[in-house]
């Protein structure tokens, strides 16, 4: 019984630390189609490839897979094809 409790505590602490160290966070956590979404990229996490970057040429290429998607790579609601750098994607 004591070992099970220790394992449970380790799992809970580990999952809490994992949640706090995400590179990308979304607010609200469960967005709906009728609300705005704020996506935050934390450059101090992950491989830190953008840490201390001072330029302004960072783009977010986004889209979603929907029931209208023909495959797992058929993204819908993209603002531009991959490799196209529009100002509204900055």
- What is the gyration radius of the CA atoms in the chain, in angstroms? 18
Confidence of residue 6 (pLDDT cuts 50, 70, 90): low
- Residue 37's nearest CA partner among 47, 27, 46 is 27
User: Residue 1: is its pLDDT beyond 70?
Assistant: no
- pTM, two decimals, is 0.53
Q: What is the pLDDT of residues 27-55, one digit of tens each?
A: 998 888 788 888 888 888 878 888 888 88
Range of the domain at 71: 58-90
User: Cβ contacts of residue 44 below 8 Å, gap of 6+?
Assistant: 51
**Residues forming beta bridges with residue 17, ordered by sequence position:** none
In a domain, 2, yes or no: no
Same domain, yes or no, for 48 and 27?
yes
pLDDT confidence band for 20 (50 / 70 / 90): low
Q: What's the pLDDT score for residue 74?
A: 92
Q: Would 17 be classed as within a structural domain?
A: no
């Amino acid at each position: 019984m004591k070992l099970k409790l220790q394992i449970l505590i380790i799992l809970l602490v580990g999952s809490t630390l994992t949640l706090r160290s995400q590179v990308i966070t979304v607010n609200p956590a469960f967005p709906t189609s009728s609300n705005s979404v704020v996506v935050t990229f934390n450059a101090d996490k992950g491989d830190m490839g953008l840490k201390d970057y001072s330029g302004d040429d960072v783009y977010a290429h986004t889209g979603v897979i929907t029931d209208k998607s023909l495959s797992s790579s058929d993204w819908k609601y993209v603002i531009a094809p991959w490799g196209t750098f529009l100002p509204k994607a900055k």
